[in-house]
Amino acid sequence: MRAEKKQGFHFDPLDRSVEITPAMMRAPSLHRAVRLFVRMRWLAAVAALIGIEFCQHLICEQFPYPWLYGVVGCMFLYNCVLYVFIVKMHRSKLDLSTVNRWLVRIQINLDFLALFFLFHFSGGVENPFIILFLLHAVFSCVLCTPSRAVIQILVASALLFLLGISEKLGFLAHYHPSCILPNVELADDWLFAIGVPAMISLIMATLAVVIIPAIQGRMLKQSEVMALSAELTFKNDELERLAESRRGLLTVASHDLKAPISAAQSYLMALRDGYMGDIPENQRDIIEKILERLRSLHVFIADILSLQAIDAGEMKGEMKPVDMVALIEEVVESYRGQFDSKKIEQQLEIGRGPLLVAAIPERLVQMMNNLVSNAIKYTPKKGRIVIEATESERLLTFAVKDNGIGIEASDIPKLFDEFFRSSAVKTTYEGTGVGLAIVSRIIEFHGGRIWVQSEPGVGSEFFFELPRA
């Protein structure tokens, strides 16, 4: 399937109908090469002028210097035309892929002609700088398609043979560099007149044999990499769209469920408390269990809405200095009943403060609630939970440690992903897999970071850092 032409040399990597080909890979390179050729030609023309001046005044006086200056003038002229054309074409925002290919060919051929006449007026095949034809042969192999590169090399070889044979036969005047070769006319020897072009042509052919397959291999690899990159981009975008759809669905569902759940809780509490008449104790226990489930569902919905708000950058609240010592003590005190019911030993090693951070207080309370409730949930009866704080010049580091069930090493990298739950707790402990995702996002929002150290059967240690206020 052929790729459709796009504006300029750009194409959409997510367009599944477009096959990424080496031509697409070559398009940006050609565009850069066209502009680079123009810049290099200014330098080459200036270097040629300096060389002609140097030769005229210090080495050889018998060359037809007006013709040499005329050739360099032609180089400046066609370079100006190319420059203006490239600028106008680029500003027009037309399809430059085909234009660039033609511009490369035109430039190479014009340079071959310029070299032909420069060497003709400065010694012909006796000029040692005639090997500059090799440079453009390399450019042809790098920038053109293999078939076009072969054609360009044949053109260069033809010009070389034409120069040597024409000067030998007298069709073109031969300007002998007597200052370099005062006693010998190499161009009068058929072996030299044909041998030099043949040798340079052989070198160009060898370069083509070596360079063209290497370039093709490189382009093929680049094409494969680009195709793989486009495929990964497409897959990532698909996953992002699916995740966005899932988040949107959860947000809508959570909003829609919030009101009926609150209403159901109100009716059930009224029924439990006897406002609608006395009920048997066994029915009261059933209602209490239903209310507990509804409370868990209400917390889950609140977590979902909170997570969506954080992801959307809508974290509400005013940033102010917060004393983490007072906040941690308040959170731990709010869980006093759960500590006591499981007879968990609590240990605060946070000093007497204050330890100030710039934060939204409600969010830090939410974060600490999640960490402490997690530690209580996964710590067995008569276990121990330690909360520590250390300080440095710029950061405050906190740790929530327990001697609970621990976490498998393979689960730690995914622990802060939303809805992830370790396989060790899925069937034993209730949960939604949202709490730690919220914790991570809140800490990152406040410019901090969180990490975990854990060993199954030994316990877990959650560390987090926050910048000092």
Mean pLDDT, rounded, of the chain: 80
Confidence of residue 252 (pLDDT cuts 50, 70, 90): low
Q: Which domain holds residue 331?
A: 320-467
Instruction: Indicate if 56 and 172 belong to the same structural domain.
Output: yes
Instruction: Indicate if 294 and 437 belong to the same structural domain.
Output: no
Whether pLDDT at 139 is above 80: no
Whether pLDDT at 117 is above 60: yes
332 lies in some domain:
yes
Say what the pLDDT of residue 147 is: 81
Tokens of 46: 């200036």
3 lies in some domain:
no
Instruction: Indicate if 120 and 153 belong to the same structural domain.
Output: yes
Instruction: Indicate if 381 and 256 belong to the same structural domain.
Output: no
Instruction: Indicate if 96 and 234 belong to the same structural domain.
Output: yes
pLDDT tens for each residue of 159-176: 999 998 998 888 888 887
Instruction: Indicate if 285 and 334 belong to the same structural domain.
Output: no
First to last CA, the chain: 60
Mean pLDDT over 145-151 rounds to 82
Mean pLDDT over 209-225 rounds to 73
DSSP code, position 18:
P
278 lies in some domain:
yes
Whether pLDDT at 411 is above 80: yes
Say what the pLDDT of residue 190 is: 86
Instruction: Indicate if 253 and 278 belong to the same structural domain.
Output: yes
Last residue of a domain, one of 181, 215, 238: 238
7 lies in some domain:
no
Dihedral of CA atoms 420, 422, 425, 430 in degrees, nearest 10, equals -10
Instruction: Indicate if 399 and 328 belong to the same structural domain.
Output: yes
Instruction: Indicate if 189 and 291 belong to the same structural domain.
Output: no
Cβ(159)–Cβ(191) under 8 Å? Answer: no
Last residue of a domain, one of 280, 311, 342: 311
Whether pLDDT at 260 is above 90: no
Instruction: Indicate if 357 and 445 belong to the same structural domain.
Output: yes
pLDDT tens for each residue of 292-316: 777 777 777 777 777 777 766 666 7
Last residue of a domain, one of 270, 294, 311: 311
9 lies in some domain:
no
Instruction: Indicate if 409 and 303 belong to the same structural domain.
Output: no
Q: Which residues contact 68 (CB under 8 A, 6 or more apart)?
A: 52, 118, 121, 122
Q: How many independent structural domains does the chain possess?
A: 3
User: What are the C-alpha distances in Å from 455 to residues 331, 389, 436, 462?
Assistant: 26, 22, 18, 12
Q: Smallest Cα–Cα separation from 437: which of 428, 424, 425, 450? A: 450
391 lies in some domain:
yes
458 lies in some domain:
yes
Main-chain dihedrals φ then ψ at residue 134, nearest 5 degrees: -65, -35
Q: What is the CATH number of the domain that holds 394?
A: 3.30.565.10
16 lies in some domain:
no
Instruction: Indicate if 169 and 272 belong to the same structural domain.
Output: no
